[in-house]
Structure 1
Amino acid sequence: MASGATKAAANIGMIVAKRPEKPGSAGKVVELKTNFIAVSTEFKYPKVHYYSFEVSDAKKKKAGRKDSQKVFEQMKKNQKFGAKALPVFDGGQVYSISQLDIGHRKETRSHSVKIPVDADGSGREKDLKVEVKYQGEIDLSPIGDYVKEKSTSAWDGNIQSSLTVLNAFANNKVRLSFLSVGRKAIFPPPRDNRPIFLPGGIEMKQGFYQSVRPGWGRLTINVDICATTFYPAGPIIDLIPKIIKTKFDRHEKTRDELRRGLDRREIDTLNRFFRGVMIFVTHRSDNRKPKHKVSYLDSQPADQAKFKQGNKEITIAQYFKETYKQTLQFGRLPCIVVIKPDKTKVFFPLEVCEICPGQRYEDKLSDDARREMVQKTAIKPWERFDRIETAIKDIFRHQRDENLRSIGMNVDPEFIKVKGRVIQPPRLTNGTEIVPDGGRWDLRKFIKCPRLHNWSVIVFENRNYAPLEMVKNAIRQLVSSLSERGMDVYPDPPIEYGNPQGGYDKSLLLAAQKARITRDRPAQLIICVIQKKVLGASGIHAIIKRICGTQLGVISQCIVANNMKGQNPSRWRQICGNISLKINGKLGGKNCVLADRELNFGTNKPYMVFGADVFHPGREEKGRPSVAAVCASVDKTVTRYVGRHSMNQKIKNEIIENLEGMAVELLNQFQRENNILPFQIVFYRDGVAEGQFQHVVQKEVEALKRAFSRVYGEKGEKGQKPQLTFIIVQKRHHARFMPVQRGDSDRSGNCRPGTIVDTEIVVPQEFDFYLQSHASPLGTARPTHYHVLLNEANFPVDAIQTLTYKLCHLSARCNLAISHVTPVHYAHHIANQAKHFVSWDGSGSGRSGSSGGRGGDTVPNTTRCEKMKSGIENEMFFV
């Protein structure tokens, strides 16, 4: 990199946008209730002592979080910290406002602690050792300075440390009282004590989340409801019917049916479910209930599986009858196998096993389970706020919390009310002016349509389930929908039936060739009718996208066969309307655009909007690389985008490693299409937490600046280097709003689309705001939190907020305002497709896999990420 760019990049980390002095004023002012409560401004931000707290067993193996918490509770109960001490526990740290009675400051004190068996009698007593050492004081005054109204303080490590300490004090009592996940979520038992099951036997628990947050001139506490999934606790025999039930089963198996045994599919389902799960057994005569980690399920039933005892072989069922005087009631069911450290295998019949409570289910949910979880957690705003208010009064009870009292933190239990603003929706046009109503609009004609003459249909479904005549009728309706909206469509595409067993690639290649033969030109589009019930729509969809995009270079559109069935013609017509939007966008058309003068970048010179996101694999995919995606607008209406993706080399790296290279390609593409380079760039970056802001600014803004030097020339020989506005987009937060006056809400009780909050629950000096851009008819709308980190164009508050809102109306996938800006929406879809373009061997995956894939590790040299074929890499294949 040239020296000038190096010098500029070195200072990037110090340039973080401040909130403009003139506040925003656009829109109608409304009073909103927030799910934040206020910490008294009398809080003194004291100094807090902190100690390391390391727990280990007799073999010096580090104890887990639950055992460490039990040790802390036991020591506190036995007054090991001092008779009047009120310490709080935060994993490997203990905090206290007064110095604890553990000896001299500089020495490490060791304690032996015996923790009892669990309340249900499971597990065993453990003798553990804890080493406690004084580490120093944490001064909370930096966060006090940070929240002052005329503060010039910036977010840094001291602010993060202060929030960690304050959250430990705020959450310590409830975490020790209830089942907890992480540091901020608790799950009290439901009032009716009835578990909520999702498809696949997974239990969903609903609870509450609490986090201390910086606000305008004071601290706040954000309280919300939350939900997550667990393995259901209890006897395995009672849970098996729920685990093996499919959506095609009319009823759950009875105990009598279980006694007759299980088929191979059902055993495989149980094997996947139980692998790595902690259980305890209930058959011992001494009433002990030892815990074990499941290795797998045996393929043979208990009354057939044999092992050698002395000089004879006996079955598991015989062993239990002779040794424990217990006749198995479910002898035809398989056994759980536990492999001990010495490689010995121990077999336990399912009827003597229970799942230990409190175990998170962290594997990927099925489509059906995810859909049902969304339905069960979607509640109206007033119900959400009522639940939160009840939790504040009955569960958190901040006024009675001795830990908060110890540091002088008083909390007002009433919700903070703020003055929000509802800005007007933009005017759209498809040749006729369109004004969105409630975040949606009707679109009968497209403003620009391509010709669709070279396309074909391939059906990956049995002819009996999707007969040819049914497919033809459905495609006629799709052709009619496209034609009505202005597209010139060849009405009779060839229809082929694919053979997945022979390989999807061969079937898709045949479909592409059929389209080419029809009009003697390259295929424009392949419609793929998929069978959702076999692999799941996402699995087949991923295969098709990879083959069509990286091998054939042709646009694809998947349709689930069941949607084509004729029981509900109006529903299929509606689906065709939605598919038409996508097809037109994918092939280079434009559905609608913002009306003239709606896009205001504060300049008459060319502008460009970027969106970026990174796909990170889940915990069940250890070692899988992250995939980054960037897309950018290449036209003045900001409706046509070009996308790029790349694989990060470092495991779990939050930074987009190849941002410079992708930005260079996108800038060059803009120049090819417009014969000029952009003067102004607005870059929206998704998926970054507050603690990573400075790191992202330093790394990714530097990468963009290097890209500008490469494309524009070091001194701007090819034109003035662009002004860069860099904005973080946060969707994963717990802020919610509800209008105080019913007349200010929409029909669902939510804020109206276009609602902005940028006071009271944010800090004064940082340029951030909450924007709820969409309608949420089912549940409580989640606003998106935007942080402007770099503002070289000096956008005023109203300008960047209205521009951001308008960019939420331009997705080619739907006729409604979406919850965040369109370029981020597209980048997310590109990343989710591109994750399937990685040739990854899957080593180290799964709960019982190796620990490969630690943060900072690099992916193997054999791992590759395929690129899109040149024929469609500059098309909107991701719509």
Structure 2
Amino acid sequence: MQIIQTLNVLLGHYPQANSTTSTISGNKHFSFGVKPVGFNLGGGLSALRGYFRSVRLGTGRMLVNINVNHAVFFQPGSLVDLISTFARTYGRNSWQLEKFLKKVRVETTHLPAKKNRAGQNVPRIKTIIALANTNDGSLLPHPPRVSKFAAGPKDVQFWLDSPSQKTSTALGPKKGEASTKITSAGYINHNLTIESPEIPVLNIGNKENPMYIPAECCRVLPGQASMKKLSLDQTAVMIRFACRKPFLNAQSITLDGPQVLGLVPASNPLLASFGVGVDLAMITVLGRVLSSPVVKYQGTSTETPRNGNKMRDCGLKVPEPIALGPFIELDAAGSTKTNDQLIESIMRSIAAHEGKVGMVFVLLPDMDAAVYNRVKYVGDILLGIHTVCSLDIKAAKEGGRDQYLANIALKLGIIGEGKTMVVGIDVTYPSPGSLSNAPSVAAVVASIDRFLGQFPCELSIQKGREEMVTDLSAMFKSRLDLWRARNKTLPENILVYRDGVSEGQYQVLKDTEIPSLRTACDLAYTSEDRKKGVPKISVIVVGKRHHTRFYATREVEADRSANPLNGTVVDRGVTSMWNWDFFLQAHTCLQGTVKPAHYYVVLDEIFGKGDLKKPHPFPNAADTLEELTHNMCYLFARATKAVSICPPAYYADLACERARCYLSGVFDPVTPGGSSVTSGTQVDVNATDVKIHQKLQNSMFYI
């Protein structure tokens, strides 16, 4: 491990020392020099293409993992231009602007250039903390006077020690007896005429001891990554920029990547001085293509999927006919109620309908997250009514409508009846912009019978940023109780797919969550069963955020998008020598370069013990697990194709996302007027906020 860390430090020195390369998280490098590869996202942001780099252990050799990476950056240059672009895109919302500019580094330009002993210019770099606010420096002997939040240069006043110090380089209040009061604009005017007095003054000090400067005196430094949440339009542009054919990414990795990362000997002699060299050619590893499973439909109809498609003009089995109810158009025009109140009022009226209402189909006019979140909260938490949301424009559009409606039909079928112990676990954490008291939310889903069609869920909130499930014993015990209620017995084997665990947390998972699973089993099973070793437990971590990609070496081994064929599995060459892991690409990629899922076996008591019931067609434990995982990817409830990761992990991820809808007030806080809630605002969060209505508790409400 120390050798790997040392090599990572050595290989990372060149890009991190390069003044025209920006580094994120220590191993993602983006060149913004003479010819940066970027794209304007709008709103003052742009995307750059760069490279991920990491030294890894392969089978009998050391490997350097390089992959194309994309990130969002602030557009460099005039800060006034950046603010103006932001205002044209989002409107003049001061709270949103402060959130956007916070921690942006700028070079101040209002003072004469400072030089070092070598005669080189030394830029004055400052960090934007906030916009000028009325409570800045409130504990100072002579606090500044700010007329309102986000005040302009003419509305911000601060004190100087004496009139003779008007030429001082300080931009904030000084200690001592104050005798002269001056506006920010007046202080700067001896060097610059303020042409945009409506643009807010920036605080480049802190709340306790503010330092003010107008935006016209600042230039945004290049290469600053933005962690702000993108708008829907920006996200769409980002996807188009990042979505590339496999051969284009392969070319970038082998040609441009080594130049940016300094892996070419001519550009980085430091590596040679340490006796280190990197072979810039990609390695070739052996892979296999697993056969698609036979999918059974209504009646005796079966089909072997091609290219990952599992449903083409086949009958879909549904529990019972669904009778259509009334159609209601939600129109807020002229109403004094808020959208939230109107949605709840309409849905309560539907719930009170004389007929039994079990499901509401909602056509949404657009992708407004607030409307969707409220519909799901009212249906899942308050009323216990299943809701299926669809975009009006997609349902009405002829092109691709059959596929879209088929996916919706699958949702209707899986919500209605329990058909189908495999377990999925995931945790979602507060994102940038969430309130400080935003919790983490854990989800545990589990099958209820041998058909693997139904995976009801248990949700639980826990301390923010807590990555392991703290209440796992009780959550998993509830899943065992449901299985016993449906089957009058308990499962002999428990297969767990754990999502959202990084490589550095494998041992933490072993030390915390696996004992919690065993504790739940001790409570549910008899002492005789436990002495016999029942149940047997296997835990597999599902990795999505990795940078390993595979490129077909022959045309016959690629699909129409030039990606490897669906069902491709790689379990040697780039996998661990000492542990059990494999890469599986179960799906067919619609566009861009396909990303396989990485499966790492943390605990195995099922497959490697030779206890599988005979006969089975698998020569060894690895093939058994790989085939089972691949086949389950065809059982995802709301897609007509095989999906990229095993459904239990996918379901747990969806359940976590649904919980974020319920807690949108802390995860994505917005005031009624549309502006962001300030960081100091607190919204109470408790367990009842994610407590599913008893009518839906044992269903896949999150689907």
Same-fold call, TM cutoff 0.5? yes
Does structure 1 residue 527 correspond to structure 2 residue 361? yes
Offset at 1:411?
2.7
CA distance in 1, matches of 2:588, 2:207: 58
Q: Hey, what's the Cα distance between the residues in 1 that align with 2:392 and 2:254?
A: 46
> CA offsets, 1:132-153, max 9 Å, x none?
xxxxxxxxxxxxxxxxxxxxxx
Q: Distance in 1 between matches of 2:477 and 2:255?
A: 53
**How many angstroms apart in 2 are the aligned matches of 1:571 and 1:844?**
35
Map of 2:215 onto structure 1? 350
The answer for the alignment partner of 1:871 in structure 2 is 695
**Cα separation, 2, equivalents of 1:704 and 1:629:** 14
* Structure 1 counterpart of 2:306: 437
Is residue 784 of structure 1 aligned with residue 609 of structure 2?
no
Q: Is residue 361 from structure 1 mapped to residue 186 from structure 2 by the alignment?
A: no
1:627 aligns with 2:441: yes
The amino acid that maps onto 2:131 is Y
Q: CA deviation at 1:374?
A: 1.7
State how far apart, in whole Å, the 2-side matches of 1:781 and 1:742 are: 16
Partner of 2:490: 677
- Alignment pair present for 1:221 and 2:64: yes
**Structure 1 residue 449 and structure 2 residue 319: aligned?**
yes
Q: Which residue identity lines up with residue 656 of structure 2 in the other structure?
A: A
Residue among 632, 635, 652 paired with 1:807: 632
Distance 1:457 1:672, change over 3 A: farther
Two-structure CA RMSD over aligned residues (Å): 3.4
Q: Hey, what does 2:6 align to over in structure 1?
A: 165
Correspondence for 2:109 = 282
Alignment of 1:385-404 (within 5 A): 385-395=250-260, 396-397=262-263, 399=265, 401-404=268-271
d(CA) in 2 for partners of 1:195 and 1:850? 36
Q: Secondary structure at the match of 1:620?
A: coil
Paired with 1:556 and 1:843, the residues of 2 have a C-alpha distance of 22
Cα distance, 1:851–1:783 mapped onto 2, change above 3 Å: farther
Point out which structure has higher relative CO (alpha carbons under 8 A, 6+ apart).
Answer: 1
Match of 1:296 in 2: 131
- Structure-1 residue corresponding to 2:167: none
Q: Are residues 1:384 and 2:249 paired?
A: yes
Q: Report what 1:79 is aligned to.
A: none
Matched residue SS, 1:359: coil
Gap change, CA 1:171 and 1:194, over 3 Å in 2: closer
Matched, 1:272 2:272: no
What CA distance in whole angstroms lies between the structure 1 residues aligned with 2:534 and 2:631?
Answer: 26
- What amino acid sits opposite 1:798 in the alignment? D
Secondary structure in structure 1 of the residue aligned to 2:693: coil
Shift of the 871–403 alpha-carbon distance from structure 1 to 2, 3 Å rule, reads same
* 2:584 and 2:596 in contact (8 A); partners too: yes
Equivalent position of 2:545 in the other structure = 732
SS of 1:265 mapped into structure 2: coil
Answering whether residue 663 of structure 2 is matched by residue 822 of structure 1, we say no
Q: Relative to total residues, which structure has the larger strand share, 1 or 2? A: 1
Partner residue of 1:40? none
Range with greater deviation from structure 2 (804-813 or 168-177): 168-177
In 1, the alpha carbon distance for the partners of 2:677 and 2:269 equals 39
CA shift at 1:393, angstroms?
Answer: 4.5
Task: Return 5+ residue gaps in structure 1 as ranges.
Answer: 1-158, 248-263, 464-496, 594-607, 853-858
Instruction: Provide the C-alpha distance between the structure 2 equivalents of 1:811 and 1:696, rounded to a whole number of angstroms.
Output: 26
Q: What's the secondary structure of 1:872's corresponding residue?
A: coil
Distance 1:418 1:878, change over 3 A: same
Instruction: Write the distance in 2 (CA, Å) between the matches of 1:342 and 1:578.
Output: 51
**Secondary structure of 1:556's match?**
strand
- Taking the aligned partners of 1:863 and 1:681, their CA distance within structure 2 comes to 27
Give the structure 1 partner of residue 386 of structure 2: 555
2:453 pairs with 1:639 = yes
User: Cα deviation per residue 1:428-477 (whole Å; 9 max; x = unaligned)?
Assistant: 111311221111233443123334347566555556xxxxxxxxxxxxxx
Q: In the superposition, relative to structure 1, how do residues 303 and 837 fare at CA in structure 2: closer, same or farther (>3 Å)?
A: closer
Identical pairs, percent: 25
Deviations for 1:626-659, whole angstroms, at most 9, x for unmatched residues?
111111111222111111111224x422211111
Q: Does structure 1 retain, via aligned residues, the 8 Å contact 2:433–2:668?
A: no
Alignment partner, residue 517 of structure 1: 353
- Going from structure 1 to structure 2, the CA distance change for 1:289 and 1:678 (only over 3 Å counts) comes to same
Instruction: State the shift of 1:709 in Å.
Output: 1.4
How far apart are residue 529 of structure 1 and its match? 3.7
Which residue of the other structure, out of 351, 368, 387, is the alignment partner of 1:537?
368
Q: Which amino acid aligns with 1:868?
A: I
Give CA deviations for 1:267-318 in whole Å, capped at 9, x if unaligned.
Answer: 5543432234222322224568533333116545546767788799876555
Aligned equivalent of 1:231 = 74
Please tell me whether residue 612 in structure 1 is matched to residue 425 in structure 2. yes
Q: Does 1:198 align with 2:41?
A: yes
Matched residues in 2 for 1:196 and 1:634: separation?
48
Equivalent residue, structure 2, for 1:798: 623
Q: CA deviation at 1:738?
A: 0.7
**For 1:692, what is the secondary structure of its paired residue?**
helix
Structure 2 CA distance, aligned partners of 1:679 and 1:754?
Answer: 29
Deviations 1:81-112 (A, max 9, x none): xxxxxxxxxxxxxxxxxxxxxxxxxxxxxxxx
Q: CA–CA distance in 1 between the matches of 2:689 and 2:9?
A: 42
Indicate how the Cα distance of structure 1 residues 194 and 227 shifts in structure 2: closer, same or farther if over 3 A, else same.
closer
**Could you report, residue by residue, the CA deviation over 1:597-650 in whole angstroms, capped at 9, with x for unpaired residues?**
xxxxxxxxxxx111111101124334422111111111222111111111224x
Query: How much has 1:360 moved relative to structure 2?
Result: 2.3
Q: State how 1:419-498 maps to structure 2 within 5 Å.
A: 419-431=286-298, 432-444=301-313, 445-453=315-323, 459-460=329-330, 462=332
Q: Is 1:327 the counterpart of 2:193 in the alignment?
A: yes
Instruction: Report if the CA contact (8 A) 2:430-2:667 is conserved.
Output: no
Asked if the contact 1:456/1:526 (under 8 Å) is kept, the reply is no
The separation in 1 between residues aligned to 2:241 and 2:280, in whole angstroms, is: 27
Q: Give me the whole-angstrom Cα distance separating, in 1, the residues matched to 2:585 and 2:111.
A: 58
The amino acid of 1:296's aligned partner reads L
Alignment CA distance shift 1:418-1:843 (3 Å): closer
Aligned residues: 637
1:705 aligns with 2:487: no
Contact 1:452-1:524 within 8 A present in 2 as well: no
Structure 2 unmatched runs, 5+: 115-121, 133-148, 164-178, 609-620, 671-675
SS of residue matched to 1:413:
coil
Structure 2 distance, partners of 1:461, 1:204, is: 38
The letter of the residue matching 2:10 is F
* C-alpha distance in 2 between matches for 1:342 and 1:820: 46
CA separation of 1:773 and 1:307: change in aligned 2, threshold 3 A: same
What's the TM-score once normalised by structure 2's chain length? 0.82
What secondary structure does 1:724 align onto? Answer: strand
Task: Report the counterpart of residue 54 of structure 1 in structure 2.
Answer: none
Out of 576, 580, 586, the position equivalent to 2:415 is 586
* Distance in 1, Cα, partners of 2:559 & 2:70: 25
Q: Match of 1:164, as an amino acid? A: Q
Structure 1 contact 276–848 (Cα < 8 Å) conserved:
no
3-state SS of 2:633 partner: helix
Contact 2:362 2:389 in 1 (8 A): yes
Shift in CA distance, 314/394, structure 1 to aligned 2, threshold 3 Å? closer
Q: Which moved more, 1:280-289 or 1:183-192?
A: 280-289
Letter in structure 2 aligned against 1:525:
M
Q: Distance in 1 between matches of 2:536 and 2:38?
A: 55
Q: 2:54 aligns with which of 211, 229, 234?
A: 211
1:238, CA displacement in angstroms? 2.8
Give, in angstroms, the shift of residue 404 of structure 1.
3.7
Name the aligned partner's letter for residue 386 of structure 2: I
The 8 Å contact of residues 280 and 289 in structure 1, kept in 2 or not, is answered as: yes
User: 1:838 Cα deviation (Å)?
Assistant: 4.8
Aligned partner of 1:368: which letter?
A: D
In the superposition, relative to structure 1, how do residues 719 and 666 fare at CA in structure 2: closer, same or farther (>3 Å)? Answer: farther
Change (3 A) 1:589 1:873: closer
CA distance in 2 between partners of 1:689 and 1:342 (Å): 37
Q: One-letter code of the match for 1:611?
A: G
Find the aligned partners of 1:672 and 1:569 in 2 and give their Cα distance: 45
Distance 1:851 1:783 in 2: 41
